[in-house]
A and B are shown apart, each in its own frame.
Chain A
Amino acid sequence: MHIGISITPFGHHPAAWRENGSPDTMDFKHLAAQVKKAEDGALDFAFFADRLGRRPIDDLSPQAVPFEPTTLVAALATVARKIGLIATAATSQHEPYNLARRFASLDTISKGRAGWNLVISPETVAREEEYIDVVSGLWDSWEDDAFVYDKASGRFFVPGKMHVLNHAGAHFKVRGPLNVNRSPQGKPLISQLLTGDTLDIAARSAELIFIGARSPDEARALVADITQRLGRHARMRSDVRILANVVPYIAGTAGEAREIRDRLDALPAAGEKPAGLEVFGSPIGTADRLQDWSETFGIDGFMILPPLVTESTHAFIDGVIPELSKRGMFRNAYMGSTLREHLGLRRPPHPASRSAGASR
């Protein structure tokens, strides 16, 4: 299975900051230590959410990460050099050229480990689809072997392998080409948290889909729905990875694990609890539950939302991951080097190589 982790300073439970938070907990080193812990467990990726899909921000939430996600991921890419790194960015907050460029740059800095978690406005579907097409088209500005760096002849790139997008649509007009090389993954990975009103955009464009369900029934229904919609966009189930969000409370026994949740629930908190399946158990019990869900939901794995940092993160990486590995359900060590390789997703070919292949 595939497992990622959503990183926050204090944990995803809205009262987590009251237990062991301090202003120092918010700094880069503390977040980087969490990512390195996840990398020790050979997790597929670390994920960074963003509140800026709903602007303006008029309060400061302890459930948010106090950095702009793309710059945070750029910094993390140089200190954690194996794990995938996914940053959230809303289409309402960036011009498509700037966004395409930022993520291509992140993929280059991380040597192929970057992902864009897409946040869209459901009320403007046509604009959102065009936006994604522009970004994806800009990522095809250069063929894989465009840059030859030939010092003797003075040719830096092969002119015919540069592609000017010349997009002129209803919402955007973008010439291109992108001023970043084709990224190591071909294109950065696109992920999306599934919501009721964005199912079709996810079915059309996302390669990694998160199910933020609070009950197993809700999770099963969303997986069935998205799987069916993939076909309408000429995509196969194997083209995407679907992960269910899980909030794990881990202790010696399930009862003790529930006590952690009850203790946190008893504290005053302003925010909502995260959308994900809660699991209470020992490391073995938690592994049992994840194995059961992964076999019966039609999903490919999980995104872990640790309720309390660092306890929940360490309990998961040190307890649950070795148990899943022992059962042959999770890797012991990284086999590949890019996020797509971690997830077992193919590197998208450049359109020029595709058409050349077809004509042969």
Chain B
Amino acid sequence: MSRANSRQMKLGAFLMAGGHHIGAWRHPDAVAEAGVDIDHFIGLAQMAEAAKLDMIFVEDAAAIRERNVNIASQAARSTGFEPLSLLAALAVNTSHIGLVATASTTYNDPYGLARTFASIDQLSGGRAGWNLVTSASELEAENFVSSGLRPHAQRYERAEEFAAAATAVWDSVDAGAYVVDGNVYVDPGKLHPVDHRGTHFTAAGLLDSPRSQQGRPVMVQAGASDAGKNLAARTADVVFTAAQTLEEGQEYYADLKARMPSFDREPDDLKILPGVSPIVGRTESEARAKYDALQELIPDEVGVALLASYLSVKDLSQYPLEGPLPEMPQTDGIQSRQQLIIDMGRRENLSIRQLARHFAGARGHWQLIGTPAQIADELEERFYAKAADGFNIMGALFPAGLEDFIILVIPELRRRGLFREEYEGRTLRENLGTRIPARGA
């Protein structure tokens, strides 16, 4: 037990309007209108906060996710709240939990985005986090002035420069810069105007809000390619990743943490949180029955289309459902996810339908089905085996999927000394235990 006291899991609640399971919105317990119901999201954030989770997390795409309208119309994923306005609304209805949203470096500008996250950070008293993505989908590219998807290497080059410029904006105002004592409004010695002129952006001027109470908003990333890992090792506080097996998780963990010293960073200043979709039952058969009920809700054409989108291929419906995946070239989209699916299909000798059903459940993330003790065992193993610093919990449906984890699994983790009883601090950075970066670092 002594080892548990020194290191505890960090846990995120990955929220999604229709649930992470593609068919979950059809479940009798699911809130089908979640994408237009702010009080549903406020309730979920407050539930996660009552359980002392580190953060809530929302993903994003600046487009609908499926080109085929017949497929799209059978899923709950085409519309929902825009993440930064959602986070702002949640910020003033919570007090301790971290608030992380995804935003693209390809379709924003550094000053505007840095300013917007700083604003959410002020609204929440230092609990905001930015999940930096480079945006891989053609549907997103088609919604913006520059038509066509940028090649992978160029997106990351832009992302590197974007992160540096955004950091400079956050660092342009020191703590205590606003004096406001009747004589002095701001202390000019604590202002450091940005003058960034790079390959992709120019950014100039001052942040128009006070310094973040956590130093800077927390930086989250999910990139798993070589370029993505280097960016994360250099700039991220949290990495959200996908790992199907213990070995994959360990390999990724060791690789990423080994890259950090060359950027003058301690491995513990970055927390690696793989996604996991837990289906919890009081008995194993209850958990299995919950899973089977969800799988029944997936139409084949929706599952196969979702699989095709993760593989970044246009169409899989021309291949037999009972047969294996066809050979395919490496994509310009999300390379890591594609490889993971191909590997799994080969390893377990799965048909297209089986793979589709599998991935529809947890969208390529780790699926756990079992009792609270079984799920805690699995999480504990990966935590101690250095495959994870914690997990991003992906409820299959909401609120039930998250509620089950909180009511059934969290007490089990606490009994084992694996998860906190109380928040350590008021900011996300304090609760994660990652250090406040020095100005200009």
> Taking beta carbons and an 8 Å cutoff, which residues of A are in contact with B?
17-19, 21-23, 25-28, 32, 51-52, 55-60, 62, 64, 66-68, 70-72, 74-75, 77-79, 93-95, 97-98, 101-102, 104-106, 108-109, 111, 142, 147, 149, 151-152, 154-159, 162, 171-181
A-B contact pairs, 17 of them (CB 8 A): A18-B183, A23-B178, A26-B178, A57-B208, A64-B208, A68-B115, A71-B84, A71-B123, A74-B85, A105-B85, A108-B36, A149-B25, A155-B73, A156-B32, A156-B75, A162-B78, A179-B62
Cβ-defined contact, B26 with A151, below 8 A: yes
- Complex CA gap A120/B30 in Å reads 43
- Complex CA gap A146/B40 in Å reads 21
Which residues from B are CB-within-8-Å of A18? 182-183
- Complex CA gap A95/B299 in Å reads 36
Q: How far is the CB of B208 from chain A (nearest CB, A)?
A: 6
Cβ-defined contact, B74 with A78, below 8 A: no
Contacts of B115-146 to chain A: CB distance below 8 A? 115-116, 118-120, 122-123, 139, 142-145
Q: How far is the CB of A163 from chain B (nearest CB, A)?
A: 10
Q: Of B27, B81, B93, which is within 8 A of A108 by CB?
A: B81
Cβ-defined contact, A71 with B88, below 8 A: yes
Cβ-defined contact, A71 with B116, below 8 A: yes
Given contacts A21-B180, A159-B73, whether A70 and B85 have CB atoms under 8 Å apart is yes
- Complex CA gap A170/B60 in Å reads 28
Which residues from A are CB-within-8-Å of B72? 157, 159, 162
- Complex CA gap A156/B72 in Å reads 8
Which residues from B are CB-within-8-Å of A52? 112, 115, 208
- Complex CA gap A95/B140 in Å reads 12
Cβ-defined contact, B80 with A23, below 8 A: no
Cβ-defined contact, B70 with A57, below 8 A: no
- Complex CA gap A94/B120 in Å reads 17
* Chain A CB within 10 Å, residue with most, of B182, B183, B186, B194: B182
Contacts of B128-183 to chain A: CB distance below 8 A? 139, 142-145, 147, 173, 177-183
Which residues from B are CB-within-8-Å of A19? 182
> Taking beta carbons and an 8 Å cutoff, which residues of B are in contact with A?
18, 23, 25-28, 30, 32-33, 35-36, 38, 42, 61-65, 69-70, 72-76, 78-82, 84-89, 91-93, 107-109, 111-112, 115-116, 118-120, 122-123, 139, 142-145, 147, 173, 177-183, 185-186, 191, 193-194, 203-206, 208-210, 297, 299
Which residues from A are CB-within-8-Å of B33? 147, 149
- Complex CA gap A60/B92 in Å reads 25
- Complex CA gap A42/B25 in Å reads 38
Which residues from B are CB-within-8-Å of A147? 33, 36, 79
If A72-B119, A174-B143, A175-B139 are given as contacts, then 20 extra A-B residue pairs at C-beta distance below 8 Å, sorted by A number, are A21-B182, A23-B179, A25-B180, A55-B204, A56-B206, A62-B180, A66-B122, A67-B122, A74-B85, A75-B92, A77-B38, A78-B38, A98-B108, A102-B84, A108-B81, A109-B81, A157-B73, A157-B78, A176-B143, A179-B61
Which residues from B are CB-within-8-Å of A106? 85
- Complex CA gap A310/B425 in Å reads 33
Cβ-defined contact, A102 with B82, below 8 A: yes
Cβ-defined contact, A66 with B210, below 8 A: yes
Cβ-defined contact, B205 with A55, below 8 A: yes
Q: Of A23, A58, A142, A180, which is within 8 A of B193 by CB?
A: A58
Cβ-defined contact, A51 with B210, below 8 A: no
Q: Of B28, B91, B180, which is within 8 A of A23 by CB?
A: B180
Which residues from B are CB-within-8-Å of A74? 84-86, 88-89
Cβ-defined contact, A60 with B69, below 8 A: no
